[in-house]
Amino acid sequence: MMKRTIFFLCGLLMVMNLSATDTIRLNMQAFMEDYPVDADGKWVETLNGGITQLDFESFSFSHLINGKSQTDNSRHWDGFTFCTSGDNNNYGSSFSSELWIDHQWGCMAGGGIDSTGAVKKGAPYLVAYWSNLGELPSLSMTFSDGDSHRPLGIWVCNHPWAYYGVLQGDGFAHPFSSEDDYFTLTAHGMDAEGREVGQPVTFTLASFEDGVTMVSEQWQWMDLRTLGQVHGVYFTMASSDNSGDLGMNTASFFCLGGAEALEHIDELERPSGLQTKGLDENRLELKWETDRFAAYYRVFLEGELIDSTETNSYIFTGLNAYTEYAVQVQGVSALGESSDFAYATGRTLDCTAPSAPANLRVQTDDHSAILTWDEASDNVGVTRYVVYVNGTREARPKKTTYTVTGLGKGETYRFEVEAMDASGNVSERVAVTATTGITTDNPSISDGRNSSASKTMIQGTVYVQKNGQSYTLNGQKTTN
């Protein structure tokens, strides 16, 4: 009984901010006359051993394994061939693969695709066959200009022979029925000499998960950006259903409907537009412009590598309040190429207000008043104090004493003091009221300066204002 099939679509649309001049794209539709097809929808020269590659302006694809010649009557071919069939019928059975030999030109999606991944019946695509003999590169995609480029990805689709093979088996393959069953396509980057470079990318064409065969009929985007800048790509295939030295039993076919790559670049540019923003007392945010050639970014704090990120932003945590930090960002390509550093400075915020100045005291004569108070405390540091007389700001001294002059004799004044830090955070105010020119028997309160006999402690109410309420220094509630 055929297993239930779940159709899935992975990455149907790749969203990238790239201009047309930055990107080269495979356009097979423009080469329909160059690769005529027969009644089966296959390129008429598929079995011609004298042709070793298919050229499509910017891209070239291998045809026949390592260019080995085959006779015109041979039924064997390797590499890529041009097709328009779109046939997705099942020509196999659990015990035979014979009919597949004459029907190798189909595509499960039913046709090629346009740039958005939409299927178009009769549109061209490439059928790829991996020889499964271990000779490399039997399947390769190179760039016609001979230069290196950065592949973005390819559109892939299951071939009918492999698709039905993993579902019901055939003369060689067994149907998938184990949680370990898989059928994969792997892309490998190549340098100018054909040696493997970069990080290979593996794409799952079919698997068996939670008792269900997972295999798609649709075109899917295979992201190749992590390959980095390469001269070409070669492909290998693997399956859990194999016969050791004879290779895998799953039919080693897939279809390729499109390809994209970036123009060649000589070096990775320094990240641009680096900006910083303090989020709070302990966090600093970085943002910069995305470099389309960078696979990820390294972020540094005070010259020390802290982390890496694939996005164009990062948040440092656990920092000190209201502190300036030097930050750096460096782009890194998939091949490990590094850009120059982008530099900036940023400061965390200070959101904590100082404590209120304690023990506010006043000493007056006929026309002046000397205010004195204890130092306030702050998480970063108090930079100055603000003195108010009858609600009007009088001065902003840095010391813990201030003399108010020009007062009227025998008049009552309300003096207030608050502490301020460098970020402009202010404490609650403390206040004292006093009348000039009135003597008292209370002892004078020293402010660190010599007091003449004519200066006296002015009688008045000394209180702290907090949360809209007023309190005397001895703890008894009073009014404003």
What are the structural domains, with CATH classification, of the chain?
5-262 (2.60.120.1350), 275-347 (2.60.40.10), 361-478 (2.60.40.10)
CA distances (Å), origin 53, targets 79, 271, 348, 443 = 9, 39, 59, 106
In whole angstroms, give the CA distance from residue 160 to residue 473.
91
Q: Do residues 81 and 46 make contact, with C-beta atoms less than 8 angstroms apart?
A: yes
Selected residue with higher pLDDT from 4 and 333? 333
Residue holding tokens 């023990």? 359
Query: 163 falls in which pLDDT band (50, 70, 90)?
Result: very high
In whole angstroms, give the CA distance from residue 405 to residue 411.
13
Q: Do residues 284 and 356 make contact, with C-beta atoms less than 8 angstroms apart?
A: no
Q: Which two tokens mark 175? A: 């149907």
Counting beta carbons within 10 angstroms of the beta carbon of residue 146, is it exposed (0 to 12), middle (13 to 18) or buried (19 or more)? exposed
Residues 189-242: tens digit of each pLDDT: 999 888 898 889 999 999 999 999 999 999 999 999 888 889 999 999 999 998
Q: What are phi and psi of 6, to 5 degrees?
A: -105, 120
For residue 20, how far is the Cα from the chain centroid?
23
348, HSE (Cβ side, Cα atoms, 13 Å): 20
Could you give the percent of the chain with pLDDT greater than 90? 65
Selected residue with higher pLDDT from 476 and 23? 23
Assess whether pLDDT exceeds 70 at residue 157: yes
**For the chain, how far is it from start to end, CA to CA, in angstroms?**
90
Q: Which two tokens mark 51? A: 């042709």
pLDDT of residue 126: 98
**Mean pLDDT of the chain, nearest integer:** 84
Residues facing 404 on adjacent strands: 369
Residues facing 287 on adjacent strands: 275, 313
Q: Which two tokens mark 190? A: 């190549």
Assess whether pLDDT exceeds 50 at residue 47: yes
pLDDT of residue 137: 67
CA distances (Å), origin 479, targets 61, 254, 463 = 91, 87, 9
Q: Which two tokens mark 331? A: 């782009």
Specify the range with the lowest mean pLDDT, choosing from 19-33, 286-300, 437-451: 437-451
Specify the range with the lowest mean pLDDT, choosing from 106-115, 277-286, 333-342, 386-395: 333-342
pLDDT of residue 387: 98
Residue holding tokens 């035979």? 96
* Across 347-363, average pLDDT: 96
Q: What are phi and psi of 295, to 5 degrees?
A: -80, -35
Residues 90-123: tens digit of each pLDDT: 998 878 888 998 899 999 999 999 867 789 999 9
Spatial neighbors of 248 by CB under 8 A, at least 6 apart, are 132, 237, 238, 239, 241, 242
In whole angstroms, give the CA distance from residue 319 to residue 301.
10
CA distances (Å), origin 46, targets 55, 98, 104, 154, 220 = 14, 19, 11, 22, 25
pLDDT of residue 95: 81
Q: What is the 3-state secondary structure (H, E, C) of 259-290?
A: EEEECCCCCCCCCCCCEEEECCCCCEEEECCC
Q: Which two tokens mark 430? A: 């403390």
Query: 135 falls in which pLDDT band (50, 70, 90)?
Result: low
Interior/surface letters 13-44, b for 16+ CB within 10 angstroms, e for the rest: eeeeeeeeebbbebebeeeeeebebeebbbbe
pLDDT of residue 49: 66
Strands 361-364 and 313-316: unpaired
pLDDT of residue 136: 57
pLDDT of residue 56: 95
Could you give the percent of the chain with pLDDT greater than 70? 82
* Across 353-363, average pLDDT: 96
Q: Do residues 140 and 64 make contact, with C-beta atoms less than 8 angstroms apart?
A: no
- Helix (H) / strand (E) containing 328: strand 324-332
Please give the DSSP secondary-structure letter assigned to residue 81: E
Query: 337 falls in which pLDDT band (50, 70, 90)?
Result: confident
pLDDT of residue 266: 66
Strands 304-309 and 296-301: antiparallel
Left if phi > 0, otherwise alpha if psi is -120 to 50, otherwise beta: which for 240? alpha
* Across 451-479, average pLDDT: 39
